[in-house]
Amino acid sequence: MPLIRRRIYLRPEGWYYLFVIVFVIGGAVLRNVNLLVALGGLMAAALILHWQLVLRSLSGVDVIRTLPARLCAGDVLDAEVTVRHRSQRGNVWALEFGDRFERIDPPESDVATEVKLLFPRVSAGQEITKRYHCTMTRRGIYHFGKAKLTSRYPLGLVEGTCFLDMPDRLVVYPTIGKLSRRWQGLIEAEQVGEKSTRHRRGLAEGDFYGLREWRNGDSPRWIHWRTSAKMGALAVRQFEQRRSSDMVLLLDLWSPSSATLEQKGLVEAAVAFAATAVVDLCRHGGSHLGMIVASREVGHWSGTASALYAQELLEHLSVCQASESVRLVDAVQRLGDMFHPGAKLIVFSTRSREDAFSLVDRKLREGVKWKPLEEAVWIDGAAGEFQSFLSLDREPRA
């Protein structure tokens, strides 16, 4: 718990109190009233002892903050704060831990969130843990910076604050929604097509292939009890080999510079859709998954679908931003590097295909393979197509 600096000052009530002390002692001096000297002394004594108690409260105390590794937007952040009193005697009273965090990527124009936790009493050698919860409504990277440990005990006239350097980082992934049957249909339909590349993993249809978590509709006979006991959750044997194909997802994040709230919501929906698709595709594993995010800059990633790969993609999706000048040509060039015949390209866009193409210069289009994009499944959010594939009901996380 590195201490940056310590500050002790009079609160407004303390200034009033000091004014009364000056008034009393001033009167005592001017009129030689000894009883007012005594009264002024008592008041001053209370203030000085208060000062000392505040100082003592702030020394010999350690603070530890514990955060979860990752979250999705909409999840509740459960943060733990532990205060430990190192001293061997005495109590520390009314310690207030002030935490502060803000979204740094994408940068947030709003003020940072501040949390205050009160530790009424921490006895000598004692360790007390308290929690606070906050619904993280927006994706991004959050920075937990300087925390404060404050004491105003016992009279509330003097406030002492230790500024603590407790840097921490929390990635909030985009919201993971629930994909509809239409999405499943879209994926399955492509898998039986002639151009799809099929990989058989498993000996035969109906053979034991692997283990997966239990879902509604699974036969109780498929439950693998030993694994279930180890994991503490039901796991079933997977007999059916999944037909998987190579898949490329393109996220076209276009938004006008002065976007309306609806347009901003559409961007978030596109990101959430892409994130949900990534989670879904990586859950089953096996296939090759490419991802291109087209905005002011173009980002592209490619790899075998897996939980780790999903986390990497989600981390990138958590910080991507919409732009008016989407570099679609660059995206298509990247697409050429990772796309091969038989792979499936799905575009999540905030605009229609025609709008997107119309904004691309013809000369620029000549140098790239434009055909995959023309043949891609284009899901146009502006036309309300997202709603038929995605709902925001929560789905189990990857």
Partner 1 sequence: MNVERWLQVHLVILCLLGSLFVALSTENLLVPSGVLLAGITSVVFTDALRWLRLNRLLGNLGAVGAVLYSLRDFFRSGSDGQLLAIASLLVYLQVILFYQEKQSRLYWQMILLSLLQVVVGAALHLGLAFGVLLLVYTSVSVSTLVLFFIHRETELHSPGAAPVGPGLGHALPQRITDGEPWMSLLGGPATVHVDDSREEISRSFLSTALIRQIVMLTCGALLFAAAFFYFAPRHSRASWSGARGFSRPQTGFTREVELQQMGELLQNNSVVMKVKLGDQFDRPVRDIEPYLAGEALVEYRTDEEGHARWLAAASLHGRGAGSPPMAPREHTLVTVEMRATTDPALFAITPAYALDRQSSESLSMNPLTRLLFRSGDYENFLPDEFIYSVGTTGIREGRQLTIVPDTRPDPRSIPPGQPRKDARDEMDMLADHLRQCSDWPAENDERFSRLKQLTAEIIESHNLSMTNEPILIARALEDHFHTPGLYTYTLNFNFARNHELDPIEDFVANHHRGHCQYFASALVLMLRSRGIPARMVVGYRGTEYNEIGDFYQIRQRNAHAWVEMHLTKEQVPDYETTGGEIGTAGAWMRLDPTPSSEATDRVLARDWIGTARDWLDYVDTVWSDYVVGLNDQRQQAAMYGRYSTQSDPFTDAEAWREKMRTLASWFGIHIEQGKNWRVAFDWRAGLTAMILCGLGLVFSRLVKWVWPRIDWSPLAFWRVRQGRRSPVPFYARLEDLLARLGRSRRPAETPLEFVEHAIRELALAQGDSLSKAVDAFYRVRFGGATLDNSEIDAIEHALAELERRPLVGA
Least separation, in Å, of the C-beta of 252 and partner 1? 16
**Bridge pairing between strands 344-349 and 377-380:** parallel
Task: Tell me the backbone φ, ψ of residue 335, rounded to 5 degrees.
Answer: -60, -40
49 scored as a contact of partner 1 (CB under 8 A) = yes
Nearest approach, Cβ of residue 215 and partner 1 (Å): 25
> Is residue 236 close enough to count as binding partner 1 by CB under 8 A?
no
Q: Which is nearer to partner 1, 50 or 243 (CB)?
A: 50
Residue 351 binds partner 1, judged by CB under 8 A: no
Instruction: Check residue 321 for interaction with partner 1 (CB under 8 A).
Output: no
- The reply to whether 32 sits near partner 1 by the rule CB under 8 A is yes
**Which among 96, 82, 79, 98 is positioned nearest to 145, based on CA atoms?**
98
Among positions 56-95, residues that touch partner 1 (CB under 8 A) are: 59, 62, 64-66, 73, 91, 93-94
Element (H, E) at 19: helix 12-31
Smallest gap from residue 360 Cβ to partner 1 (A): 26
Give me the helix-helix angle, 34-58 and 12-31, nearest 10°.
Answer: 150
Q: In this complex, which beta carbon is closest to partner 1, that of residue 119 or of residue 309?
A: 119
Q: Residue 109's CB: how many other CB atoms inside 10 A?
A: 6
Q: Which of 183, 224, 70, 251 is nearest to 191 (CA)?
A: 183
Tell me: does residue 189 bind partner 1 (CB under 8 A): no
Distance in angstroms (rounded) separating the CA atoms of residues 4 and 43: 32
Write the CA distances from 292 to 56, 197, 252, 283, 321, integer angstroms: 56, 21, 8, 19, 13
Task: Return the range that interacts with partner 1 (CB under 8 A); candidates 166-174, 198-206, 299-307, 317-325.
Answer: 166-174
Nearer to partner 1, 18 or 46 (CB): 46
DSSP structure class, residue 192: T
Decide: is 3 part of the binding site for partner 1 (CB under 8 A).
yes
Going from the C-alpha of 163 to that of each of 5, 148, 158, the distances in angstroms are 5, 5, 16
Only one of the segments 111-119, 238-246, 331-339, 351-359 lies at the binding site for partner 1 (rule: CB under 8 A); that segment is 111-119
The residue range among 102-110, 197-205, 287-295, 337-345 that interacts with partner 1, by the rule CB under 8 A, is: 102-110
Q: Distance between CA 146 and CA 167 in Å, rounded?
A: 7
* Of 391, 331, 342, the residue nearest 364 (C-alpha): 331
The window from 160-168, 214-222, 295-303, 355-363 that contacts partner 1 (CB under 8 A) reads 160-168
Q: Which of 7, 15, 68, 114 is in the footprint of partner 1 by CB under 8 A?
A: 114
From 132-140, 297-305, 321-329, 370-378, give the range in contact with partner 1 by CB under 8 A: 132-140
Applying CB under 8 A, the span of 35-43, 228-236, 279-287, 291-299 interacting with partner 1 comes to 35-43
Which of residues 65 and 212 has its CB atom nearest to partner 1 in the complex?
65
Asked if 103 interacts with partner 1 (CB under 8 A), we say: yes
Nearer to partner 1, 66 or 304 (CB): 66
- The Cα 127–Cα 61 span in angstroms is 10
* Smallest distance, partner 1 to C-beta of residue 73, A: 7
Quick check: 18 binds partner 1 (CB under 8 A)? no
Minimum distance of partner 1 from residue 289's CB (angstroms): 23
Taking CB under 8 A as the rule, does residue 27 contact partner 1? yes
> Which of 147-181 are b and which e, b meaning 16 or more Cβ less than 10 Å from the residue's Cβ?
bbbbbbbebebbbbbbbbebeeebbbbbbbbebee
Binding segment for partner 1 (CB under 8 A), chosen from 105-113, 220-228, 248-256, 362-370, is 105-113
Strand ranges in the chain using DSSP code E only, listed in sequence order: 3-10, 61-66, 70-72, 76-85, 92-105, 113-122, 127-135, 140-151, 158-173, 178-179, 210-213, 235-238, 247-252, 288-294, 298-304, 344-349, 377-380, 390-391
Site for partner 1 in 249-268 (CB under 8 A): 261-262, 264-266, 268
Is residue 259 left, alpha or beta, with left meaning phi > 0 and alpha meaning psi from -120 to 50? beta
Residue 360 as a binder of partner 1 (CB under 8 A): the answer is no
Six token digits for residue 242? 């999944």
